Amino acid sequence: MDWKVALLQSKLWLMTFLFLILLTFVISLSTGALSITIQEVIATFSGRGTPQQELVLYQLRIPRMLIAILIGAGLALSGAILQGLSRNSLADPGILGINAGAGLAAVLCIYLFGKSNSSFLSSPFFLPVFAFLGALIIALLIYSFSWKGGIDPGRLLLMGLAFNALCGALLIILQLKMDPKDFQQATIWLTGSIWGTQWPYVWALLPWIVILTPIAFLKARTMNLLQFSEAVPHVLGLKVESERRILLCLSAALAGSCVAVGGGIAFIGLLAPHLARRLCGANYFSLLPLSALIGSFLLLLADMIGKNLLAPADIPVGIVISVIGAPYLIYMLLTRRSVGMNN
């Protein structure tokens, strides 16, 4: 009967966060520098709104909120995969330097091709590919240097921090070579700002999330098996190293595409899977979808706070998440007994 109770609990939490996402979405539609009541929102959707209301809702708020939902889900799934892959509850694409690698590649792409006459190279559809390659290279380097007859969680974390610092330094050097306007834009973007997001960025990110999310869900059984000792997956016929490489590429693709559109948003990949594990347990069949929903909710909520707290000024969503995530990371470090996944 225990598994039935766990399944029911997971379904209840999934429905709860779906409702919270919908509620936050509706509230966020009506709040901001220009206040629009719920009645005016409904009237605008019915074709009876003013041109100003249509502009604000259709061209500014809706694409921005859709981007927040997509990025939150993508980064949460990336973090959940990394935590399962390394059996380390501190693994996160932001902390391990994967986000920084993606950001470095994206800024390099902007620096090289931003003023190019080629519409493809300067379009938002090319940027996620470049960011994915940067994320993948850093992820493979961290994985390779952390390997010592197996993945050591502490070694993985230290290698991630080292590569994070290295990418950060290279980013500063690259930004110093930009003209002041591009430098300012790159700095704001890397803090995790989605304030300038428009529909082209939604269409650029959407295929990555729509394609990669089901693949991540299909890997739930593999993720469950990887939580056992090395002998168990081998006995059950799992090609462990091959699956690890696939999962690493999957995590890098999710993180890289999200960073390309939303910048350096940290802690979502740490917070969402950790909260999901506390709510539904370590079964990846329920952990992965719940992590995605929690990530979407957290980023949508952070975006709503960021655009209203100091309105009309806009606080980058990455800063809001960091204010929440940094204390939570300190709490985790103070309360965990070891580096493994059991804490």
Q: Record the tokens describing residue 90, joined without a space.
A: 């501190």
Rounded Cα–Cα distance for residues 308 and 54 (Å): 20
Residue type, 17: F
> Apex CA 197: angle with CA 193 and CA 198, to 5°?
175
Distance, in Å, from the CA atom of 224 to the CA atom of 285, rounded to the nearest integer, reads 8
Rounded to two decimals, what is the model's pTM?
0.88
Cα–Cα dist 205/200, whole Å: 9
Which H helix or E strand runs over 50? none
The span from the CA of 106 to the CA of 253, in Å, is 13
pLDDT by residue for the chain (343 residues), tens digit each?
466 777 788 889 999 999 999 999 999 998 887 888 888 888 888 888 888 888 889 888 999 999 999 999 999 999 999 888 888 777 888 888 888 888 888 888 777 776 544 545 556 777 788 888 888 899 888 888 877 766 666 677 788 888 888 988 888 888 788 777 667 667 766 767 775 578 888 998 999 999 999 999 999 988 888 887 766 666 666 777 788 888 888 999 999 889 888 887 888 998 999 999 989 888 899 999 999 999 999 999 999 998 888 777 788 888 888 888 888 878 877 776 544 454 4
> 2-335 is classed in which CATH architecture?
Orthogonal Bundle (1.10)
d(CA 121, CA 215): 28
pLDDT, tens digit, 9 for 90 and up, residues 66-109: 999 999 999 999 999 988 888 877 788 888 888 888 888 888 87
State the Cα–Cα distance between residues 193 and 185, nearest whole angstrom: 10
Question: Which candidate, 228, 184, 192, places its Cα nearest to that of 71?
Answer: 192
* DSSP calls for 72-91: HHHHHHHHHHHHHHHT-TT-
CB atoms within 10 A of CB 284: 26
